[in-house]
Structure 1
Amino acid sequence: MSEPWFDVNTFGTMYGIIGGGVGGTLCGVLGAIGGVLAPRGKGRRFVLGSMALFAVAGAVQLIIGLIALASGQPYGIWYPMVLCGVILVAVMGPLIPVIRSRYAQLDQRRIDAEAIRRS
């Protein structure tokens, strides 16, 4: 095992608070915002951009965690990064196409309504 990158207990605690507490709360709020705004056609750039940002951040955490695992870092170093990365990628990744399709459905309804008005 190589020299730990950080103090294991401090890193695990801080990463749990920041990654799990703050990150999880922000993802939950973002999901609620997307659920409210997407059917109304509002905030498309913000919602989809934020979800993509969280998915990319999760992928980066996952990659760094796997590098830490491969380099022989202790469990308290690699596990929080892998856990947060897997959760972010698994939750935000599949939600992006769902929210995008809600916006597309709304756009199609607007186009259909305009066609009905003109005919």
Structure 2
Amino acid sequence: MKTVSLFLSGLLWVCSASGEETLRELKWSEIKSTGQLLAGEVVMVTDGERGEALFVESSESTPTTLTLTRIENPGIRKDQYALVGQVRYIGVAPGSYLETLNEIPGQGEFFTRTLSPSGPMGLLEGESDWRPVSLPFTLTADAPRPTKITLNLCLRGPGKVWLSPLNLIELEKMEEVRATPGEWWTERRGGYVGALIGILGGFYGILGGLAGWLASKGQARPFAFALLASMVAVGAFSLLATLIALGLSQPYHVWYPLALSGLLFTVIGLAMFPTLRGRYVEAEMRKMKAMDGI
């Protein structure tokens, strides 16, 4: 069970190792009450428990840029920050996107746009149910901190867009915001999970060889079978975590290493039980024959 505990501790470390800090939550109803809502309508979303959202609709056939709000004196301290939330849209013209204009004193305005083909920084095109959206920005180490962040919705034609309340966050590493919000670990940290599984596999390989040698000698039977039981337990936990990850729509780099390790540890562990048992029986038979020959 100590092995299982170490494996769990390693996964928890990977999941919790995040440098994200929320500076403020931007609720549309509060923004409206202070007169800072510049476009759209605050509505209550009935699907799930999402609560309020900002609804924006355009019937214009020509490109339109709508300024939704401006964040004055955002209080940015770190070099990397982002606006993150959820977006939903219907009938949006191709090429539409969300945009932030980051005003840096003495340097001007610099933009971030959701122009990627997919992911949290993906374009707004056609129709989509609620999905993550991220608008990150990176400052140089010696750059002044931004004094204003303007949020725009740029529509290339007609469309309907719903935007959840947003969080203004600071990060240690930009990969955190480029990841899908809610995922257990980023693709980069998925490498740490793979390394952890590899180390654990090597550990079991060494101890498995030792267990086989002990079985051939007929020694340490409880230890050998406890080792196999712990391997199966780790595999079963990984498979359970895989099912939970799939149920929560975790990305490939989260569920795949869990599924692979779960299958390997479970199948190999269960397959070794009869082999190990057979070796102990053979060792016992050899002892009995040796005693008969005396």
- TM interval, shorter chain, is 0.7 to 0.9
Counterpart in 1 of 2:229?
Answer: 52
Secondary structure in structure 2 of the residue aligned to 1:31: helix
2: CA distance between counterparts of 1:48 and 1:11?
A: 33
> Could you tell which deviates more after superposition, 96-105 or 106-115?
106-115
Asked if 1:109 is matched to 2:280, the reply is no
**Post-superposition shift, 1:6?**
2.1
Say if 2:184 and 2:250, in contact at 8 Å, map to a contact too: no
Say if 1:62 and 1:81, in contact at 8 Å, map to a contact too: yes
2: CA distance between counterparts of 1:6 and 1:72?
A: 11
2: CA distance between counterparts of 1:7 and 1:88?
A: 22
Select 1:14's aligned residue among 192, 208, 220. Answer: 192
The structure with more strand, counted as a fraction of residues: 2
Asked if 1:89 is matched to 2:273, the reply is no
Deviations 1:46-76 (A, max 9, x none): 1211111011111111111122112211111
Select 1:64's aligned residue among 238, 241, 249. Answer: 241
Say if 1:55 and 1:92, in contact at 8 Å, map to a contact too: yes
- Unaligned stretches of 5+ in structure 1? none
**Post-superposition shift, 1:102?**
0.4
1: CA distance between counterparts of 2:181 and 2:276?
A: 43
AA of the residue aligned to 1:8: T
2: CA distance between counterparts of 1:68 and 1:3?
A: 14
Aligned length: 116
The structure with more helix, counted as a fraction of residues: 1
- Unaligned stretches of 5+ in structure 2? 1-130, 132-179
User: What RMSD in Å do the two structures reach over aligned CA positions?
Assistant: 1.9
TM score, norm. by length of structure 1: 0.85
Deviations 1:76-103 (A, max 9, x none): 1111111111111121110111011101
Secondary structure in structure 2 of the residue aligned to 1:14: helix
Report % sequence identity: 30
Secondary structure in structure 2 of the residue aligned to 1:73: coil
**Post-superposition shift, 1:36?**
1.8
Report matched runs for 1:13-32 at 5 Å.
Answer: 13-20=191-198, 22-32=199-209
**Post-superposition shift, 1:111?**
2.4
Say if 1:11 and 1:76, in contact at 8 Å, map to a contact too: no
